[in-house]
């Protein structure tokens, strides 16, 4: 049997086809100036639409310390709230369907809004004004929470009793994670493993204790 030698240029053509068939990684770009940015980058919140946009550091600096306007710069770091007071009775009165939620001050609506992750995304829950007033009276750290761009993130899954003032993009990142991994009616083991890893990383970033267990508050 005679083997035919490959024609000149065939190898280059095959290599080119392989390159075209190989998906290229999507490059993050600043939504303002279109410059390429690292995977870890700053975000702005378009307040009226509650839309998070990606920005480079120079564009982010334009919004540093800007309190009003179409866009607000989202802070970088979470803050662990040690000694935060929220009793089981207070939590039950909120009547949330999941032991995981975040509370943000909506400057346009002039109120605090409770949001919880669900398979369909972030879902808003009614929050009685008096319930939030009690939490504020018992926890001075809530007065430091920036409207729109920070939230009180609560994790009471299982034995966990942990609370953070978290950047709003982190909160919506948790929503996306749950939506991505949720299976069936209860979510499945995978989603709760991912949630556990999420909070382990959040605790590390905030300099919090490694354990998720907290003593119950007795207000």
- Entry field: residues in the chain: 219
What pLDDT digit, counting tens, does each position of 15-29 carry? 555 554 555 556 789
- Asked if the model's pLDDT at residue 194 lies above 50, the reply is yes
Show the domain range for 109.
79-206
Say if residues 44 and 73 touch (Cβ distance below 8 Å).
yes
Domain count, the chain: 2
Do 155 and 172 reside in the same domain of the chain? yes
Do 83 and 44 reside in the same domain of the chain? no
What pLDDT digit, counting tens, does each position of 52-90 carry? 999 999 999 999 887 778 999 999 999 999 999 999 999
Mean pLDDT (whole number) for 109-129 = 89
CB under 8 Å to 158, separation ≥6 — which residues? Answer: 212
The pTM for the full model equals 0.83
Residue 211 counted as domain residue? no
Do 106 and 198 reside in the same domain of the chain? yes
100 strand-pairing partners: 155
């Amino acid at each position: 049997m005679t083997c035919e030698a490959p024609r000149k240029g065939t190898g280059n053509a095959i290599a080119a086809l392989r390159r075209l068939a190989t998906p290229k990684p999507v490059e993050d770009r600043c939504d303002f100036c279109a410059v390429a940015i690292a995977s870890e980058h700053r975000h702005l919140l378009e307040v009226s639409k509650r839309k998070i946009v990606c920005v480079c550091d120079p564009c982010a600096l334009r919004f540093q310390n800007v309190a009003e306007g179409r866009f607000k710069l989202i802070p970088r770091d979470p803050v662990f709230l040690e000694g935060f007071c929220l009793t089981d009775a207070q939590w039950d009165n909120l009547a949330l369907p999941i032991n995981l939620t975040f509370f943000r001050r909506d400057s346009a609506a002039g109120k605090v809004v409770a949001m919880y992750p669900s398979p369909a995304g972030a879902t808003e829950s009614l929050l009685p004004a008096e319930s939030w007033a009690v939490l504020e009276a018992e926890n001075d750290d809530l007065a430091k929470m920036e409207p729109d761009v920070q939230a009180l993130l609560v994790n009471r899954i299982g034995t966990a009793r942990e609370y953070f003032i978290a950047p709003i993009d982190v909160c919506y990142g948790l929503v996306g994670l749950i939506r991505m991994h949720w299976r069936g009616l209860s979510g499945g083991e995978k989603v709760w493993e991912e949630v556990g890893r999420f909070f382990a990383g959040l605790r590390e970033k905030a300099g919090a204790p490694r354990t998720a267990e907290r003593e119950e508050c007795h207000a």
